[in-house]
Amino acid sequence: MTQQRSAHRSHRFHFTGGTAAVLLACSAALAAGPPAPATVKKPLTAAEVLAASTPADWRALDAQNTLYMELAAGRVIIELAPQFAPHNVANVLALVRGNYFDGLPIMRAQDNYVVQWGDPDGKKPVGAAQRTVAAEFERPLRGLTIAKLADPDSYASVVGFLDGFPVAADPALGRAWAVHCYGMVGAGRDNDVDSGGGTELYVVIGQAPRHLDRNVTLLGRVVQGMELLSVMPRGKGAMGFYQNPAERVPLRSIRVAADVPAAQRTALEVLRTDTPTFLAYVSARANRVEEWFKVPAGHIDVCNIPIPVRARAAPKP
């Protein structure tokens, strides 16, 4: 857990799956140099996989599909997920464009669970948006190309990634759904399944609460700034709600990135999850070859694969 120095390398590490993908990444890294010998099988670290990636391995965030939450502490950036929750996402965009969230607070921080923001009184006018939107807990699996993980999952028969989001599926039911991993954003609701819609939003700040899967509409993911939300003082009330209104942390605003002047935007790009490079990245996280590791896990959980995000290089003139 400290700096890596004076290592010895164990010979006990082993590899399951993903080696072919690692080779692909190796080849890509070497594409501009001499051809790699067919016997090269040196496994890469995740950092090496990313260093060897090409611009095509990354995608820019769509400004029409990106939210900036402005806190006193800084900007939190959320990528929305209309592929999972089109109507809830549309409603959140309408709420945001009506400045609904401006001045509303973070009012709940439950340790190892969620941070939540919205209107504590539930009465603020929603303008052109809807107060509630029907649940979008699942969607049809048909037509989706999921980058599937090889390892078993405790909760679902299929897990993987779709468009940068962790996803699970049940082929027997023909259904797919976004998964409650760290940083995922959902629409709080009351007991009625259709009582959500985005007027209250929460983000996962702890161990993946997978029991919420298929019970709440997930509609996005924090791609930058999680460290501003995850440190919110935990509320001492039931479910982590702040007992005293003075404890609440106000949001300055939430804006659609496309509505923010270009000079004030944060240009980010996200690693695509439908490429050999992504598979190599997953494999590198499952089979750590950094000197510090002595027994690479050889396996990986869908919620232990954070999607790399980086500043987007300015396009070349």
**170-174, Cβ contacts within 8 angstroms, sequence gap of 24 or more:** 170/141, 171/141, 173/141, 174/140, 174/141, 174/142
Minimum CB separation of residue 294 from a copy of itself in Å reads 6
Q: What are phi and psi of 227, to 5 degrees?
A: -70, -10
- C-alpha 69/C-alpha 283 separation (Å) is 33
What is the distance between the terminal CA atoms of the chain, rounded to a whole angstrom? 43
Minimum CB separation of residue 78 from a copy of itself in Å reads 16
Contacts of 181 (CB under 8 A, 6+ apart): 166, 204, 208, 302, 303
Which CB sits closer to a copy of itself, 230 or 253?
Answer: 230
Look up residue 299 and give its amino acid.
Answer: H
Minimum CB separation of residue 201 from a copy of itself in Å reads 9
- C-alpha 127/C-alpha 147 separation (Å) is 39
Minimum CB separation of residue 196 from a copy of itself in Å reads 8
Minimum CB separation of residue 221 from a copy of itself in Å reads 13
Which CB sits closer to a copy of itself, 215 or 253?
Answer: 215
Q: Which residue ranges make up the site for a copy of itself (CB under 8 A)?
A: 1-8, 10, 108, 111-112, 114, 116, 137, 149, 151-155, 181-183, 186, 188-193, 195, 200, 202, 206-211, 213-216, 226-227, 230-234, 239, 285-286, 288, 291-297, 299-304, 306
Which CB sits closer to a copy of itself, 108 or 255?
Answer: 108
Which CB sits closer to a copy of itself, 82 or 209?
Answer: 209
Contacts of 29 (CB under 8 A, 6+ apart): 48, 51, 52
What 3-state DSSP class applies to 186? Answer: strand
Minimum CB separation of residue 56 from a copy of itself in Å reads 28
- C-alpha 32/C-alpha 78 separation (Å) is 36
Minimum CB separation of residue 248 from a copy of itself in Å reads 15
Q: Are 98 and 126 in contact (CB under 8 A)?
A: yes
Which CB sits closer to a copy of itself, 177 or 255?
Answer: 177
Which CB sits closer to a copy of itself, 75 or 234?
Answer: 234
- C-alpha 104/C-alpha 249 separation (Å) is 8
Which CB sits closer to a copy of itself, 192 or 246?
Answer: 192
Residue that is written with structure tokens 């000079």 in the block: 263
Minimum CB separation of residue 25 from a copy of itself in Å reads 19
- C-alpha 131/C-alpha 123 separation (Å) is 10
- C-alpha 230/C-alpha 205 separation (Å) is 6
Which CB sits closer to a copy of itself, 258 or 295?
Answer: 295
